[in-house]
Structure 1
Amino acid sequence: MDYVALIGIAVGLSMDAFAVSIANGAVTRKVRPTFALKLAAAFGIFQAVMPMIGWLVGKAGESFISTVDHWIALFLLCFIGIQMLREAHKKDENGDGLQDDIPFKTLLTLAVATSIDALATGIILPSAVGAATLQLMLISVCIIGVITLVLCYIGVYIGKKFGDLFTSKAQIIGGLVLIAIGIKIFVEHMWCS
């Protein structure tokens, strides 16, 4: 198995989740280790599960997945980004607009939206890293999940530091970042694949 390629794929797949972790850290009133771990674990689990599902679906579902994954990510991330912008507007009227925790439904939506590309990656992962057997695929997805978890955990704290510096605009920037990530995923799939 090509571990260098696998680590590169894992880091690449985790970048959207890392950026969303930064955005959530920036808009959280007080970041606790349990909050950071909950966010990081959700992203890590979905980044690990989606390639496994993609591998199991195999080539039969490849064309379908590649035709809808970018639309789903665009919709979900833009929806949550717009919600954050609305909350920032309410903040101007009702207080600081920071969150104490992330609702489960929002966390689940973010985890799915940032891991859609991992679903398609699961189809090509065996040829990219030499993980043709179930055992090697399990090792691969565990590595992807752990790398995502670690990067997202760190990202929450980076975001908190950023949010502390720019408290008044953190939620607006966080919402715009989510929308930008959704657009980036969409543009990459439409014109750069």
Structure 2
Amino acid sequence: MVASIGEVVSIICMAFALGMDAFSVGLGIGMQAIRLKRICLIGLVVGIFHMIMPFIGLLLGSILSNKIEGIAILAAGLLLCAIGCQMILQTFWQKDTQILAPVGFGLIMFAFSVSLDSFSIGLSLGLSGVATVFAILMFGLFSTVLTWLALLIGRRTNHLLGTYSELLGGVILFGFGLHVLI
């Protein structure tokens, strides 16, 4: 019983840590003008990706982990830097279009980039049976809730800071992208 409680606690801690990536990036994205319906959808999509990516990682196994992990981390960092730069530049240009708004393809890219670390966790998970299912469900639950929380905080910040909130959000995303790259 103690071993299973320790395993549950470690899975919950891991899920929280994985969800914090989505939280950090969600703060920046939330500083755009986003409606509550969109916030709900973004959180759900991020949660689904946080369940799909470790599942794919579990299926591929540790043979490919060293080859794919470096490329995946580089792609995620570059994508976050690009989104951050776009948001920064957007504050100085007209607000007609956004390169990667959290809609459609932009939403998929956002969810993919913040869930790449869960892919590598999936590659290294040595769990079996119910623990694997529990871990994947916890990854999805925590990332969904933390994304919702971040988007709501970012939305509130947007109302407080006005135009400069998107600039701040872009700086946060760019900084997080640099952190991933370094």
TM-score greater than 0.5 by the shorter chain: yes
Aligned to 2:41: 38
Distance between the aligned counterparts of 2:70 and 2:152, measured in 1? Answer: 35
Per-residue CA deviation, residues 83-123 of structure 1 (Å, 9 max, x unaligned), is: 112211114xx69x99xx73211111111111111111112
- TM-score by length of structure 2 reads 0.88
Secondary structure of the structure 2 residue equivalent to 1:59: coil
Q: What runs of 5+ residues in structure 2 fail to find an aligned partner?
A: none
User: TM-score, structure 1 length as denominator?
Assistant: 0.83
SS at match of 1:18: helix
- Match of residue 108 from structure 1: 108
Q: Which residue of 2 aligns with 1:23?
A: 28
Q: Secondary structure at the match of 1:60?
A: coil
**Where do 4+ consecutive residues of structure 1 move more than 6 Å?**
none
Map residues 85-104 of structure 1 onto 2, 5 A cutoff.
85-91=88-94, 102-104=102-104
Distance 2:139 2:172 in 1: 23
Distance 1:68 1:102 in 2: 23
Provide the C-alpha distance between the structure 1 equivalents of 2:39 and 2:66, rounded to a whole number of angstroms. 35
CA contact 2:53–2:122 (8 Å) conserved in 1: yes
Tell me, in whole angstroms, the C-alpha distance in 1 between the residues paired with 2:175 and 2:165.
15
Q: Does 1:9 align with 2:4?
A: no
Q: Is the 8 A contact 1:21 1:40 kept in 2?
A: no
Q: CA deviation at 1:139?
A: 2.0
Counterparts of 2:146 and 2:103 in 1: how far apart (Å)? 21
Corresponding residue to 2:162 among 157, 160, 167: 167
- Contact 1:21-1:39 within 8 A present in 2 as well: no
SS in 1 for 2:39: helix
Alignment match of 1:141 (pick from 132, 136, 140) = 136
**Alpha-carbon distance between aligned partners in 1 of 2:166 and 2:49, rounded to the nearest angstrom:** 24
| Deviations 1:133-186 (CA, angstroms, capped at 9, x unpaired) | 3x4322210111011111111111111111111112111111111111111112
Gaps of 5+ in 1: 188-193
How many residue pairs get aligned? The number is 175
For residues 40 and 12 of structure 2, the distance between their equivalents in structure 1, rounded to whole angstroms, comes to 21
Which residue, 130, 147, 153 being the options, matches 1:152?
147
Aligned counterpart, 1:118: 118
Whichever residue aligns with residue 128 of structure 2, its letter is A
The letter for the 2-side match of 1:167 is G
Q: Secondary structure at the match of 2:70?
A: helix
Name 1:191's counterpart in structure 2. Answer: none
Q: Following TM superposition, by how much is the alpha carbon of 1:21 offset from its aligned partner in structure 2, in angstroms?
A: 1.7
Distance 1:102 1:123, change over 3 A: closer
Task: Quote the offset at 1:125 in angstroms.
Answer: 2.2
Identity of aligned residues (%): 25
